[in-house]
């Protein structure tokens, strides 16, 4: 939305293509993280071939290299097919972030606890879930590397890590190389939601902006932050377009977006304006919804 309005052409089709490309790139990051597991495991395997290695380091690297979940992931057909079809090359060999992550994992309390005794497949999975929660998600160097690899990955890492953690939990040893990964879209309805929201937010922009201006009587419209208008405009598109999404859910989501991307005071301002708009639209029966609740108020 922001890009669409900042581009003087205001070409909807180009903006839609850019939106779909950004989703493709997010899905690419999802596969990057799985390949990252393999590359970190490869680091441990390389250490095993070194002549001068202590018994302690040998044990650590063996446990990481032969982690049952990581070994299963290496043969995953869906991951291999994606890598081949998209011809991605993330140059892991020269990645300082990967080397740093390997060392952090080997020296971490999470790993120290893990190697105290022999572990089952389930515990091997849980190790990697903990690594993503406590180490990978906190790595500043990896964050910088992701920014260098793709401008689309700048804000995606946190949510994609949560998808990776969810996927690892779903792995079953019996599925072997045929274990499925998450699809790019949950279903056709999920994909259509994205396009419908984007289309309605733009094509009904004048109506939404008029509602915002009317309910911001004590504010000079020209002084309302541009990003706040876009956030409210998109929120109204969702609230007015999708009857199955409760107002409270939409409100919470867009208030979180405001906190992440706009000014410190924006979330309270947006909450007040949207609250007033929704109450009026509800009275006028212009919103058909799951019961409207005030539970979203922060």
Read off the pLDDT of residues 166-200 as tens digits, 9 standing for 90 and up.
999 999 999 999 999 999 999 999 999 999 999 99
SS (H, E, C) the chain: CHHHHHCCCCCHHHHHHHHHHHHHHHHHHHHHHHHHHHHHHHHHHHHHCCCCCCHHHHHHHHHHHCCHHHHHHHCCHHHHHHHHHHCCCCCHHHCHHHHHHHHHHHCCHHHHHHCCCCCCHHHHHHHHHHHHHHCHHHCHHHHHHHHHHCHHHCCCHHHHHHHHHHHHHHCCHHHHHHCCCCCCCCCHHHHHHHHHHHHHHHHCHHHHHHHHHHHCCCCCHHHCCHHHHHHHHHHHHHHHHCCCCCHHHHHHHHHHHHHHHCCCCHHHHHHHHHHHHHHHHHHCCCCCCCCCCCCCCC
Tell me the average pLDDT across 281-291. 78
- Grade residue 285 by pLDDT with cuts at 50, 70 and 90: confident
User: What percentage of the chain exceeds 90 in pLDDT?
Assistant: 77
Tell me the average pLDDT across 269-278. 94
Give the pLDDT score at 52. 75
pLDDT at 296 over 50: no
Give the pLDDT score at 293. 41
Give the pLDDT score at 286. 85
Give the pLDDT score at 290. 53
Read off the pLDDT of residues 222-272 as tens digits, 9 standing for 90 and up.
678 899 999 999 999 999 999 999 999 999 999 999 999 998 889 999 999
Give the pLDDT score at 42. 94
Q: Is this structure's pTM higher than 0.75? A: yes
Give the pLDDT score at 253. 95
Read off the pLDDT of residues 27-86 as tens digits, 9 standing for 90 and up.
999 999 999 999 999 999 999 888 778 889 999 999 999 999 999 999 999 999 999 999
Q: Which CATH class is domain 188-283?
A: mainly alpha
The full set of domain ranges for the chain reads 27-178, 188-283
The overall average pLDDT reported for the chain is 91
Read off the pLDDT of residues 111-154 as tens digits, 9 standing for 90 and up.
999 999 999 999 999 999 999 999 999 999 999 999 999 988 97
- Grade residue 291 by pLDDT with cuts at 50, 70 and 90: very low
pLDDT, greater one: 292 or 228: 228
């Amino acid at each position: 939305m922001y890009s669409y309005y900042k581009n003087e052409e205001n070409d909807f089709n180009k903006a839609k293509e850019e939106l779909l490309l950004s989703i493709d790139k997010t899905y690419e990051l999802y596969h990057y993280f799985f390949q990252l597991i393999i590359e970190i495991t490869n680091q441990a395997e390389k250490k095993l071939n070194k002549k001068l290695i202590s018994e302690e380091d040998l044990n650590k690297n063996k446990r990481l290299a032969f982690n049952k979940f990581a070994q299963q992931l290496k043969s995953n057909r869906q991951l291999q097919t994606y890598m081949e079809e998209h011809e991605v090359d993330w140059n892991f060999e020269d990645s300082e972030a990967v080397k740093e992550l390997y060392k952090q994992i080997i020296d971490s309390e999470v790993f120290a606890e893990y190697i105290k005794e022999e572990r089952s497949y389930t515990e091997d999975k849980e190790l990697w879930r903990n690594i993503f929660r406590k180490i990978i998600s906190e790595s500043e160097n990896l964050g910088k590397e992701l920014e260098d690899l793709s401008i689309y990955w700048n804000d995606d890492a946190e949510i994609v890590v949560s998808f990776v953690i969810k996927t690892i939990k779903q792995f079953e040893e019996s599925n072997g190389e045929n274990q499925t990964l998450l699809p790019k879209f949950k279903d056709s309805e999920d994909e259509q939601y994205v396009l419908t929201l984007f289309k309605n937010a733009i094509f009904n922009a004048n109506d939404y902006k008029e509602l915002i201006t009317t309910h911001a009587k004590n504010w000079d419209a020209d002084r309302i932050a541009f990003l706040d208008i876009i956030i409210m405009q998109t929120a109204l598109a969702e609230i007015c377009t999708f009857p199955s999404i409760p107002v409270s859910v939409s409100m919470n989501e867009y208030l979180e977006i405001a906190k992440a991307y706009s000014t410190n005071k924006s979330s309270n301002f947006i909450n007040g304006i949207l609250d007033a708009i929704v109450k009026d639209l509800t009275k006028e029966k212009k919103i058909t919804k799951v019961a409207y609740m005030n539970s979203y108020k922060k």
